[in-house]
Chains A and B, each alone.
Chain A
Amino acid sequence: MKMLFDSAAFRIIAKEKQTQDIYLFRLEKAGAKKTEKSELNYQPGQFFQLGIPGFGEAPFSVCSASKDFIEFNIRGLGEVTNKLISLQPRELIWLRGPYGTSYPMKEIRGNSLVIIGGGTGVAPLRGVLKHVEAHRADYDRVHLFFGFKSPEEILFKKDMNAWNRIFDLHLTLDKAPKDYKGKVGLVTKIVEESRLDNKNKIVMICGPPIMMKFTIQTLEKTGFNHDQIFVSYERRMKCGTGMCGHCMISGVYVCKDGPVFRYDKVKGLHE
């Protein structure tokens, strides 16, 4: 009998500090021998339940696209997440998943990608970009628009340096010191300034609800259609399997029908 809440042990193989309270963890399956490494099967956009016995579980989107390891970007905010970020390499985290829908990376081949993220919402989009890095020829141009609160809050700095070279990267900050040379303002501003048209483009947005709302309004003004836009929603899933009810928006379960939705399918849903 397969138990619903059964989890598998994963070992932390790297932990990288991102900001004051955010760490990037790289995990691999514990107990797997080097010679018979089992391939991991997850897609960008999907999520896992990460658990620590005695503390509980919390859902996290994957932010990698590798068959050998999984990465999660974790901010210490509550009991479970603060325990998670206290863990060190070699220690275990218990995973179940992957759950939910992913970005349709196959179906959108040949398009240019417009990827818009705010704060920790950049994490699931990093999974998309890791996939694109590995399959660069499958996609046309890649435009990135990321917003963070302050210079200290910028995530994935190493990746940002690389993406600045290989993609069209735009960064903006809510607040910055006077000597900051980059852009300051809302992410909607840098999207608007880029004057992108909607031809052969797919948009992916992840960030706080208010940021997603205004970004979509901005895109509407520049002529994007709702079926070109993919959004990723955040909810606190407890089961991940459409039973516990916590992630339900109207008749939609974010854990099963999402977390990645084509926007025309979910616009106007009653909260």
Chain B
Amino acid sequence: MDKVLEKKRLNEFLSKVSKGKELIAPVKKGTLRFEVVTAFADICLEGRPLFPIKKFFSPSKQDLLSLNLAKKDKPYDEVKVKFKPRIIFGARLCDFNGLLRLDKFFLSKEYRDDYYKLARENTLLFAINCVPTPSKYCFCESMSLERYYDLMFHDLGDKYYVEAGTVRGKSLINELRDYDFTMPAITCDKKLDKKDLAKYYDDVAWSKENDKCLSCGKCTAHCTTCLCFDVNDELAPDLQKGKRFKEWDSCQFLNFTLVAGGAVFRKERLPRFKHRIYHKLQYFREKFGMDMCTGCGRCIEACPRLIDFTEVINKLK
């Protein structure tokens, strides 16, 4: 048995559960973006932000070490991270499923990203159901997403049906009124006809679509699960103090596979395009048993040439 919340009481509910926490939601100030909410009136659940929520778990530029070259024997110091607990409200199933994929990299037993781990532990996930889907590029119905959230809100006109996906989610809605309802599944007009891609690596359909590519990297920047990064040092003008930081990188850039001496292993745009799609739909699946793509369609919507890998795959015969 789950719960119901009158729409007029939404802000009251959110302000109660987010006490002492940051509330992050889609905010409309010009562009629709996930941001820390400063006024409830800014929250906008129409459409979906083109930029995903990954920046709250692994920022585009993140300091790893502070450097002080004057301290010869210990020039490095760990940059300590502290997190204020927070709630992400108004993201969608594809967004939260993206986190499940990223966990495979950043919470693995051998190698853990402490920033990511803390961010994950300190964030409650409140989804809104996608009926109707917020973008014509959505195809998550084809991607077998899990019902992964603390709470899921479903719009019933003047009220939200609220379903808990976790124990901690459940504890937040105890006081709401019981309501008997079944959460409707998401249906998308756009489909991905999944195939064993290994057989199609050399198909000309890839190059036809990729001929349009500008190698700008917008697809990876907007992807829910792309978090490849570079690591670099930076010194202040005094050449003493500085930092080592990690920064988002993109496999679509020419110098992503650059090695010492100038050799580049993926010189052409075509193998770079295929590398991204094969990673999302084949390599990741071979390792972790699930697709890395969550069907959000952001890479298509963000692309200045509207390159659509689903159309390539759907056409493969």
Q: Give residues in A with beta carbon < 8 Å to B.
A: 1, 3-7, 9, 30-31, 53-58, 75, 77-78, 81, 92, 94, 208-209, 234-236, 238-239, 241-246, 248-251, 270-271
Check if A94 sits within 8 Å of B249, measured CB to CB.
no
Q: Give residues in B with beta carbon < 8 Å to A.
A: 64-65, 67, 69, 72-76, 78, 105-106, 108, 110-114, 201, 228-233, 235, 239, 242, 244, 246, 249, 251, 256-261, 263, 265-266, 271, 274-275, 278-279, 282-284, 286-287
Q: A246-B257, A270-B278 are in contact. Are A3 and B114 (CB under 8 A)?
A: yes
Q: How many inter-chain residue pairs (CB < 8 Å) link A and B? A: 116
- The residue that B229 contacts in the complex, of A209, A238, A250, with Cβ under 8 A, is A238
Check if A53 sits within 8 Å of B75, measured CB to CB.
yes
Rounded to whole angstroms, the CA-CA distance of A248 and B266 in the bound complex is 11
Within 8 Å CB of B201, what residues of A? 270
Check if A53 sits within 8 Å of B76, measured CB to CB.
yes
- A92 CB to nearest B CB, Å: 7
Q: A53-B67, A53-B69, A271-B271 are in contact. Are A241 and B110 (CB under 8 A)?
A: yes
- The residue that A6 contacts in the complex, of B72, B78, B246, B251, with Cβ under 8 A, is B78
Check if A54 sits within 8 Å of B67, measured CB to CB.
yes
Rounded to whole angstroms, the CA-CA distance of A250 and B275 in the bound complex is 7
Check if B231 sits within 8 Å of A54, measured CB to CB.
no
Within 8 Å CB of B67, what residues of A? 53-54
- The residue that A238 contacts in the complex, of B231, B233, B287, with Cβ under 8 A, is B231
- A36 CB to nearest B CB, Å: 18
Rounded to whole angstroms, the CA-CA distance of A58 and B260 in the bound complex is 9
Q: A238-B230, A242-B105, A270-B201 are in contact. Are A54 and B235 (CB under 8 A)?
A: yes
18 additional A-B pairs beyond A53-B233, A239-B229, beta carbons within 8 Å, are A4-B111, A5-B244, A9-B74, A53-B244, A54-B67, A56-B231, A94-B75, A94-B76, A234-B259, A235-B257, A235-B259, A235-B265, A243-B105, A245-B229, A249-B265, A251-B279, A271-B271, A271-B275
Interface of A is mostly: loop
- The residue that A54 contacts in the complex, of B69, B266, B287, with Cβ under 8 A, is B69
Check if B114 sits within 8 Å of A271, measured CB to CB.
no
Within 8 Å CB of A92, what residues of B? 72-73
Within 8 Å CB of A250, what residues of B? 278, 283
Within 8 Å CB of B112, what residues of A? 4
Within 8 Å CB of A4, what residues of B? 64, 111-114
- B78 CB to nearest A CB, Å: 5
- The residue that A244 contacts in the complex, of B108, B249, B279, with Cβ under 8 A, is B249
- B111 CB to nearest A CB, Å: 4
Of listed A31, A77, A234, A245, residue having the most chain B CB within 10 A: A245
Q: Which residue in chain B gives the minimum CB-CB distance to A94?
A: B76
Q: List 24 A-B contacts (CB under 8 A).
A: A4-B114, A6-B76, A6-B78, A31-B73, A53-B67, A53-B233, A54-B233, A54-B235, A54-B242, A56-B244, A75-B261, A236-B259, A236-B260, A239-B111, A239-B229, A244-B249, A246-B228, A248-B275, A251-B282, A251-B283, A251-B284, A270-B201, A270-B274, A270-B278
Q: Which residue in chain A gives the minimum CB-CB distance to B239?
A: A54
Check if B106 sits within 8 Å of A243, measured CB to CB.
yes
Within 8 Å CB of B235, what residues of A? 54
Within 8 Å CB of A78, what residues of B? 260
Check if B228 sits within 8 Å of A244, measured CB to CB.
yes
- B128 CB to nearest A CB, Å: 30
- B22 CB to nearest A CB, Å: 23
Check if A246 sits within 8 Å of B260, measured CB to CB.
no
Rounded to whole angstroms, the CA-CA distance of A186 and B280 in the bound complex is 40
Within 8 Å CB of A251, what residues of B? 279, 282-284, 286-287
Q: Which residue in chain A gives the minimum CB-CB distance to B241?
A: A54
Q: Which residue in chain B gives the minimum CB-CB distance to A77?
A: B260
Within 8 Å CB of B278, what residues of A? 250, 270
Check if A7 sits within 8 Å of B114, measured CB to CB.
no
- The residue that A9 contacts in the complex, of B73, B110, B249, with Cβ under 8 A, is B73
Check if A246 sits within 8 Å of B256, measured CB to CB.
yes
Q: Which residue in chain B gives the minimum CB-CB distance to A54?
A: B235
Q: A7-B76, A244-B229, A245-B228 are in contact. Are A75 and B260 (CB under 8 A)?
A: yes
Rounded to whole angstroms, the CA-CA distance of A23 and B305 in the bound complex is 48
Within 8 Å CB of B230, what residues of A? 238, 244, 246
- The residue that B233 contacts in the complex, of A30, A56, A239, A248, with Cβ under 8 A, is A56
Rounded to whole angstroms, the CA-CA distance of A243 and B279 in the bound complex is 13
Check if A243 sits within 8 Å of B229, measured CB to CB.
yes
Rounded to whole angstroms, the CA-CA distance of A92 and B71 in the bound complex is 12
- A68 CB to nearest B CB, Å: 21
Within 8 Å CB of B76, what residues of A? 6-7, 53, 94
Rounded to whole angstroms, the CA-CA distance of A77 and B231 in the bound complex is 18
- The residue that B265 contacts in the complex, of A5, A30, A54, A271, with Cβ under 8 A, is A271
Check if B251 sits within 8 Å of A242, measured CB to CB.
no
